[in-house]
Amino acid sequence: MRNLYCAAGILFSAAVLASSAQAEEATWGIQMEQFEYRLGEGSDNLLAWDFDAFVGTYDYKFVWRSEAEYETEPNTFETLENQARIQVPITDFFDAVAGVRIDTPEGQDRLHGVIGIHGLAQQWFEVDADLFLSENPSARFEAEYEGLITNRLILVPSVELDLPFNDDPDAEVGAFGPTLELGARLSYDVVDRLLSPYVGVHYERVFGETADLAEAEGKDNDTIFGVVGIRVLF
């Protein structure tokens, strides 16, 4: 619980700083990087999304981040995660992040504190590196790159690595048994980067004790999906 109080304190402090900052014109937007249907083997099909909605100024932003995977056959969420984050610039290209995360694995809902960084690395890779603080701490690293083939045709490779720091059987993860996700999505801009349908592939693999838990449940260690979806930015 101490970690949760610390996370709440970080978020409250950031909000107070934002409210006391010199007034600037606020902006808002939604960046839905993924809204897709994943077709696996047999009935292993998923509806998945990953989006950020933000409001704020250059100096302070409030961000709602949501990620989910919905299994279409049993009609249930495999994962459902929402974050409330405050972002503050620390360099020209990176923001510091603090907030809270709520997710729903199999079993009880979970609450985590969040600290991390978000921004653009060299060669214009978009990067997120987050530490999740709770009774079941973990870390996550995400990176993606928009490779222009033409002005409208874009290839987006991506990588995500989740690393749990202790055993959490309810979430089906073992200590230091990472989950790796790799993707490649080819999109076509229909309306000036605002609306972009895409097709691609998505690959997931678990390692270590997380893989051992999957095997004990009769599940595969790796899965590959064909994907069809749409990106929306406004």
In this predicted model, what pLDDT tens digit does every residue of 62-118 receive, in sequence order?
Answer: 999 999 999 988 888 888 999 999 999 999 999 999 999 999 866 667 899 999 999
Structure tokens at 85: 């984050």
Q: Is 218 exposed, middle or buried (0-12, 13-18, 19+ CB in 10 A)?
A: exposed
State whether residue 194 is helix, strand or coil: coil
In this predicted model, what pLDDT tens digit does every residue of 121-160 receive, in sequence order?
Answer: 988 899 999 999 999 999 999 999 999 999 999 999 999 9
d(CA 31, CA 97): 17
Half-sphere exposure (Cβ direction) of 100: Cα atoms closer than 13 Å:
15
In this predicted model, what pLDDT tens digit does every residue of 18-74 receive, in sequence order?
Answer: 454 445 688 999 999 999 999 988 668 999 999 999 999 989 999 999 999 999 888
Half-sphere exposure (Cβ direction) of 91: Cα atoms closer than 13 Å:
7
